[in-house]
Structure 1
Amino acid sequence: MAPLVKKFTETVNFETKVCVTAQHREMLDQVLQFFEISPDFDLDLMKPNQNLHRLTAEIIVQLKEVLEEFKPDYVYVHGDTTTSMAASLAAFYTGAKVCHIEAGLRTFDKRSPFPEEMNRQLTGRIADLHFAPTTTAKANLLLEHIPEETIIVTGNTVIDALLGSVKKINEQPSAWAANFESELDDRQLVLVTGHRRENHGEGFERICKALKTIAQTKPELMIVYPVHLNPKVQEPVNRILGEVPNIQLIEPLAYQDFIWLMNRSALIITDSGGVQEEAPSLGKPVLVMRDTTERPEAVEAGTVLLVGTDSKAIVRESLNLLTNPKAFEKMSKRHNPYGDGQACERIVNAIQQHVLQS
């Protein structure tokens, strides 16, 4: 949402305010700093071992005061987070129009990913305007009887953020990035991210065993894994991978360092949604450790490959891409279906037209 915030604040006929719930405090603060955004409202809701029931209730209750103070005409929410779903409901209760960025993504399996699939479906039912990243996302919304005149295909704002950041990051790498580059020398790098709830338990056991096999098969390789803070992720990752010499388990990275690391990688193995969109813009093949994806365009375009949490599939496809130049080039040269970096401009233009027509 950062580039959209910037675009709105440059537009004189809108009064724009930013509210954050701080559902993930550590990740949020460094992003705000990098993009030089100061929230007008900070609910600071993060609590240890917080469950979805309490988080959802707290967002709705605390947003009520913000919405009643500012009285916005439009409330913009993004994607599939609990924050977006609960904020949409709170905005609906107070009479504001809800605008959903990254609308229309679907797996059509309400428990995969959990709770994200239901978060975005519920947000879609509440939203008044739907900013879909692709024509496939628009088609999903039409199947749900969303009026076509309320759907605008824009590309995804995450690509705006990425393309606007890469040059800055390359010209001014952080101290962490500079130090890490010197440690790597010329070694091939694989970046891993994994945190999805549906992979907790046996799924993470299989993922970690696969990573260990890849590292042992190619000792000259370096695997870097910024480990999510969730104890259900930390425990198996540290137990299985903690002593493998060419696997580095590190703290979650600041946004700019994660983008730098993606750009430095040869291959990305992930269960993240956003990475499936970002990596192709950097020419990086992606293996997705999920059985379903709400981003089928990437699969169809050939920029990502679904491998689930099957250890043999993860190992087989990783080694194929790392050792087979033709397979690597085929995936890395594909067109990114998620945008050209102009999504925010399209969104602002669309809302200006909507205001004029209202």
Structure 2
Amino acid sequence: MSIAFVAGTTAEIIKLAPVMQELRDRGISYHLWSTDQHVSGMRETLDNLGLPQPDRHLLPEGRRSHIAKSRQVPGWVASILLGALRDRRALKADLRDGTKPIVVVHGDTFTTVLGALIGKLVRARVGHVEAGMRSGDIRHPFPEELNRRIVAQLATLHYAPTAREVANLRRERARGEILDTGANTAVDALRTMLEAAPDEQGLPERFGLVTLHRFELVTDSKAFREILQALSASATAEQPLLMVAGQAERAKIDELGLGGLFGEHFRLMPKRPYAQFLPLVKAASFVVTDSGGLQQECAVLGKPCAVHRERTESHQGLGENVLLTKLDTGAVKRFIADWESYRHPSTLHVHHPSQRVADSLASALKG
């Protein structure tokens, strides 16, 4: 096996899964190395996607814990890097089959940077899926924008979602192959999973779906309080809001004493695996989120979506069914009041980006 995918979050697994499945269908084997950035939900996500569990964990079992707070990051990063240095011969052996190895990373997380560094450590080419996305401001979102720029300097196989990202990489003089995949690989994952997703019972006839989870927002107490207050004020019996929240968001809600904002019309729901989350996306009238990935999914679905961020690296859907709020809670309230005007036709079946990535990887193995 000469290909290793490095992933640590459920979002990375979801977006890399269609590429891994494409390779598997072509008889090309690969390894999956996990940084265990996310522990909760990872096993179930892989099972739901029909993928085997990781071939290698880059952390020993006793040191794996879900990275939910910023103060956990430095120790986790140090453990991953020190472990990779210690085990570099074993990592190289995983990829030794007579061809020059490739390590594939995705997106803009700390795992993306760690995976790219590990790729360099084992003298592999680094492939970056979702390459070239830029917000134009290194502070927004932070650290994701910085992570993307670092990986662009380490990768030599750049898989860019659209021509816009290709132009970004060429302007930065990125080395190696730059491929326009036509869309984000999330499109393929979304199409496959939606086709199999059952309708969820017990949901309101009309509702808005809310996800707010990025470090940038959750660690900003003032901004997090303001958006939750605005959402609570906008939720009504005729148009309730359902907020899906993980450990970090719930801890922040408790810390700020905001539990009283939730009730019958503004409901707090536990985070769930991707296969169980998609029925909510499918049934929702509109979405309010700070997730670039969910923004992209809404863009191809034509689902009205407000992205609550100062800037976004993803430009899919902007000016059509997606509104960038620039952290203006007034914009969020206006969007909720007028979400129907943001409807747009779905383009879910137009693009097949994972095929293009798999084509490139297969070609690179022969080169």
Structure-1-length-normalised TM-score: 0.87
Of Structure 1 and Structure 2, the greater helix share is in 1
- SS in structure 2 at match of 1:205: helix
Q: Distance in 2 between matches of 1:59 and 1:241?
A: 39
Partner of 1:140: 168
Contact 1:130 / 1:152 at 8 angstroms: preserved in 2? yes
Q: Compare 48-57 and 291-300 and name the one that shifted more.
A: 48-57
- Matching residue of 1:33: 47
The 5 Å alignment of 1:1-358 reads: 1-12=16-27, 14-38=28-52, 39-43=54-58, 45-46=64-65, 49=69, 51-64=72-85, 65=87, 67-71=91-95, 73-147=101-175, 150-154=177-181, 155-170=183-198, 173=199, 177-178=200-201, 180-181=202-203, 184=204, 186=205, 188-199=206-217, 200-215=220-235, 218-230=236-248, 233-235=252-254, 239-300=258-319, 302-321=320-339, 325=340, 327=341, 331-334=342-345, 336=347, 340-356=350-366, 358=367
Aligned residue identity for 2:231: L
Q: What secondary structure sits across from 1:297 in the alignment?
A: coil
**In the aligned structure 2, how far is the partner of 1:89 from the partner of 1:108?**
24
Compute the displacement of 1:47 (Å). 5.2
- Mark the CA change 1:351 to 1:68 in structure 2 (over 3 Å): closer, same or farther: closer
TM-score (norm: length of structure 2)? 0.85
8 Å contact kept, 1:133–1:339: no
List gaps (5 residues or longer) in structure 1: none
CA shift at 1:10, angstroms? 2.1
Which residues of structure 2 form unaligned runs of 5+? 1-15
| Residues 39 and 66 in structure 2, CA contact (< 8 A), matched pair in contact too | no
Counterpart AA for 1:96? A
Letter in 1 for 2:211: T
| C-alpha contact (below 8 Å) 1:80/1:120 kept by paired residues | yes
Contact 2:127 2:156 in 1 (8 A): yes
- Are the counterparts in 2 of residues 206 and 309 from structure 1 also a CA contact under 8 Å? no
1:204 touches 1:309 (CA, 8 Å); kept in 2? no
* Preserved CA contact (<8 Å) 1:169 1:260: yes
Q: Aligned residues, how many? A: 334
Distance 2:255 2:330 in 1: 18
2:12 is aligned to none
Cα distance change of structure 1 residues 258 and 269 upon mapping to structure 2, 3 Å threshold: same
